[in-house]
A and B are shown apart, each in its own frame.
Chain A
């Protein structure tokens, strides 16, 4: 990162993107107009409340809280919605093919571009927050809200705004058409709006109880730190993913993402086990397993969409040492490596689920830490391991089928076809049989809850939970077929994972770093 230090502060220069974006932002009618509208709304809300109060005979002892409850959603809309759309929209326009600004053929690294966009957005956020902060602090003087609550809620709103900003930057970098981006952006926008609602609801709860009295307790810091941790992990992932998306296709774009996800997997596991021991409940591990399974299913679709071709540039960096090469296989771009990495992490999750939910890991860890043996640990559900395993295995099977269909029948199409197949196949298998049932007038809620082997969604809606074991065995069977169909391909990919010789032409390393 290009930061000023004691030695370079005289020659240090800020990120060019920040300079450019801020120059344009201060002249932008969108920012100026929004700022003026924002100030006007804040002013009229304050005046409205104060005038309303002056006509009341009984003084409102919670006037400050009432005003704050209006200020916070306004600020949240700006932070979660407007600024991310402004920054993301500009980035989307720059990424369009016909754009005349040749920003992406300068020597600016993808990381600097993304950081520049992020810092610019954060700067604008700080601008808006510093405008609203005096108004919000002012509410403290009108009673009904304490200063710590004001600052904590402002901090939460700011952090969520930064996360929304990073999400918008990530969406803008997606290699999709404008239409598809809007299609993805609309649900994202709806989610942001629901975030405003959640923020408001949370603030009502916090203001009623007051945060000041809870600041010294674990009941405040426990959930706060957990949320902060998850938010940070998500932020880091979105940041790295955005950088990977605008990096050249010839670069090993998978490496930072897979390495980050592996570390995040490990960290979240430790935190989940810690929380489970602390609360004497396996629920945090269950939530962790659910989230990891969802992430791994997504990773499977992405992995099979990567394609087989590895650029010479990637192959030149493959280690020559066979042990290191075996490790590198999991972290290098390419469908085979991606699948192997996802399966490895998926199996590790499955194993941990078995150890935690069936093997009594939490009980023994609790006994070891606290010295108390026989302490009861609450387990949320008996079928949690088999349910998540079935879902992962189904996803793996369909991904393998998608890969096979692409390779065997649609080789001329882009690798993303395999990913689309791996999504379309389970969707079709879930819809078509039920459509048939509908046309023969046999479709009922009862029929939907029957055993529909191969239907991923059926796992969530079973009338008899023991049916989930049938799903598990069916998924294992499908994975076996998928693996058999792709075994030779995988073997070829494994053999092809060899370092390429460096050419005799001038190497990039001879260029001075700019």
Chain B
């Protein structure tokens, strides 16, 4: 019946147009925004959002959610940062610890949801609070700066050639994120894990009847999400001068909002990681761009909330229309 979907009706394409429109508007209204350094700083602050969003795409496709990614990310960055500063832990090990910590929290979430049957929002709301509690107990921690020993990890996200004002800075982090997006898009579409993630969101019963061990894959979706929250922690530490304890609440909304804008269905079963990348950029543009057009940064929270509701409303309306047609 449906052969090739036209690119025009693809939500990802429409969102891309929205991004272009936003950029054009900012550029018209703000001369500052036209500078390379503004773009660079906007990208700097997008990486952790993108990484969180890649991860949370998987629970959302299973019709679940992970609310612990924001506070989790801050918690991992703090704990690992402490180890670097006070216990001479090599930065590479600290980075691995971030990822491992994320994976453990993801495993906990997955077990609570996939095995014990707790509602996803509630289980992850609790781990959100628990990670925030843990992070509150760690002192504020700056990771090594660019010039300090161990500062090499900044180069993952931003390569700097030369010094001073003439230094050439390249946003390689964007390439890293794109590479990860492509990798996870591949995982979603071409591995058993990805396929079963979609199937869990679409029709869990049917998947179970096909003899698949659903629990393992359900848990894995949250573990993957946790791992990406761990990666996001590294990106977060790279851009935030000092990671503050007890923060991070609300950051998950940027990521989750981005995923919904990118076209993941609120009832699960459908989604794409490339869509997530595009969707997150809308949120990032709103977040970092609003001050350029003279709006307080706090407007961003309100607008993100409204964008989230709007994206889900479109999804609901779409499904209602489809139900009517049948």
Q: Do A and B come from one complex?
A: no
